[in-house]
Chain A
Amino acid sequence: MSAPLLAIEGLTKRFGGLTAVKDLTLNVEAGSIASLIGPNGAGKSTVFNVITGIYTPTAGDVKLDGRSIVGFKPHQVAGTGVMRTFQNIRLFAFMTVLENVMVGDQTRMHATPFDSAFRTPRAQKEERAVTERAMELLDYVGLASYAREWARNLPYGMQRRLEIARALAPQPRLLLLDEPAAGANPTEKRDLMGLVRSIRDRGITIVLIEHDMKLVMGISDRVTVLDYGEKISEGDPQTVRHDPRVIEAYLGKGA
């Protein structure tokens, strides 16, 4: 068996007296969809924030393809091919839909400030290629006809999809989706499941934080359950679904 793409080893994150994540070990195989679930405040988003370099862990290590990425700044983490979306959508509101996706492709661009100011042939060629790739992605998530619209003018569901397109722009190795189905209606959720599967089929590994159990159980290869920062269960959806500790965490003792 090959080494996992993402390996979290003994990760602990404390904020003052509060332990948000406690001794978490988690492996994500390349090409799989892994889900991170748990009640509110279980530390799921903190895990994402540690992976992407907002927080440095109190203890433990995060490895991508066997290489530690602890201490990397967020833009450096992006440079290693780890992209993410945010729980509360964070688009660039006063930029066009197309420009949002093009910002996502920053790490693959080479234009220097000189190239940018003087529109060197090299920069023009790169600009055309980036525009084309961004348009393809917009087409892929069904937003091609809104390319020139300002991001803030899109309705909520489309904003979620735009955020995914932006994160896909540099063809990342690992995509972290933070509650992509929040606020979505059943049709949108079904579409989203299809989208996530098709992203996986493009060879991109996915870690998903999600509250919607039907969605999680439907698409995950592996589910990890956190409660009060600790891993209480792990396995394929069937195993986790019937784990008494998970039922207790969600419904309370005696349920």
Chain B
Amino acid sequence: MSAGERSLRARVRLPLGIGEVQAWQALGLVAIIALFVFYPLIDRNQGDVSSVADAGYFLLLVFGLNIVVGFAGLLDLGYAAFFAIGAYAYAMVASTQFNLHFNFWPMLILSGCVAALFGVILGFPTLRLRGDYLAIVTLGFGEIVPQVFLNLDKYTGGPNGISNVDQPVLFGYHFGFNPVPYYYLYLVVALISLVLLNNLKHSRLGRAWMAIREDELAATHMGVNPVTTKLLAFAMGASFAGLAGCIYAAKLTLISPDEFNFSVSVTVLSAIVLGGMGSLTGAFIGGLLLAVLNFKVLPQVTNWTHALGAALHNEAVQNLDLHYIIYGLILVLVMLFRPEGLVSTASRRAELHHAQPAASAAAAGVE
């Protein structure tokens, strides 16, 4: 091993409680963050920046649901409801709807809090449920919430939704329709979220969540209060969706109930499973990958087939929409060949591939 190689493998202690990693991992982390920081300066195409900014709300949703599903093991199929609640919480008090114009920044926090409150309201009656039963109840909740917004048209604009949502202003700078400030807002919120989530994961509360996920009965006998632990998972998970909804509404300036349907919940859940359940790196990679696929790459493929069909004067090819066919195929292939997700630990891989657990497998403590 050369001196250079050795220094790349040296342990480096990262700030903010991120933990100890090898030097090359730290360098990689710095490079990735730098890439995200400078991206809008490199790619001057506003459409591209806007797509990547939209990946921001998706990532926040993935982070939030990762607490509920990944950490605490509570299968939630109605997560988009909290996204809707956050978006409406802001849009209703910062638009021409009631001619209220609350400031964006306190509302950002408040939207998270409102969503968290609804997280507790959903969590409370479902405390005794697990697995499939919990999934069905949360599925129902996810269906009810957009219906409520659809039918309360006096307050929510019904099927037309709420338009003219206020855009943020920071120290006199108007965000407007320029995607770049939204991009940086998402980036800052996402980075702070990652640090907080990493703190949580390695804390008293994080261990309580995982203990509940692994074996609820044993966890309660070790002194974990299942009621508060689960409610905190629902509340904290929902608060991320609330934050995301608020920024989403402000960026688009227009929201309607049909944007928060079941497919949003499922796509977010797919990102978590794709990335590797319970892993933060996995949530990040899975979320980013699905966002880029769904917002950028696959719509582009559809454009190509349209262009190809037009050139060939072939109507069938022109009307071909490959978006969800390719998307579905990718999900199926990943689950077939990497059921444990793209980022995973050696042991979960072993279980899902039906291998024998090794008595002294190589240090598996690294995530």
A and B together in one complex: yes
A219 within 8 A of B: no
Q: Is the CB of B200 within 8 A of A117?
A: yes
Known pairs A113-B232, A148-B364; A75 contacts B225 (CB<8 A): yes
Q: Is the CB of B210 within 8 A of A99?
A: yes
Chain B residues, CB < 8 A from A117 = 196, 199-200, 203, 205
Q: Is the CB of B359 within 8 A of A155?
A: yes
**0/1 interface trace, chain B 270-299, chain A, CB 8 Å (1 if under):** 000000001000000000000000000000
- The listed residue (A92, A118, A146) touching B215 by CB distance below 8 A is A92
Interface residues of B in 190-227 (CB under 8 A from A): 196, 199-200, 202-208, 210-211, 214-215, 217-226
A96 within 8 A of B: yes
- The listed residue (A91, A115, A118, A124) touching B218 by CB distance below 8 A is A91
Category for how many chain B residues contact A: 35 or more
**0/1 interface trace, chain A 9-45, chain B, CB 8 Å (1 if under):** 0000000000000000000000000000000000000
Chain B residues, CB < 8 A from A95 = 207, 210-211, 214
Complex CA gap A86/B220 in Å reads 13
A73 within 8 A of B: yes
- The listed residue (A77, A113, A146) touching B205 by CB distance below 8 A is A113
Q: Is the CB of A74 within 8 A of B203?
A: no
Complex CA gap A148/B215 in Å reads 20
Chain A residues, CB < 8 A from B345 = 94, 150
A104 within 8 A of B: yes
A71 within 8 A of B: no
- The listed residue (B205, B218, B236, B363) touching A90 by CB distance below 8 A is B218
B365 within 8 A of A: yes
Chain B residues, CB < 8 A from A124 = 17
Q: Is the CB of A153 within 8 A of B347?
A: yes
Q: Which 9 A-B pairs have the closest CB atoms?
A: A148-B365, A116-B203, A107-B223, A78-B223, A92-B214, A90-B218, A74-B220, A106-B223, A116-B205
| Chain B residues engaging chain A, CB cutoff 8 angstroms | 16-17, 196, 199-200, 202-208, 210-211, 214-215, 217-226, 232, 236, 278, 345, 347-348, 351, 357-361, 363-365
Can you name 7 extra interface pairs (CB under 8 A) apart from A75-B226, A96-B365, A115-B204?
A: A117-B196, A123-B204, A127-B202, A148-B364, A148-B365, A149-B361, A153-B364
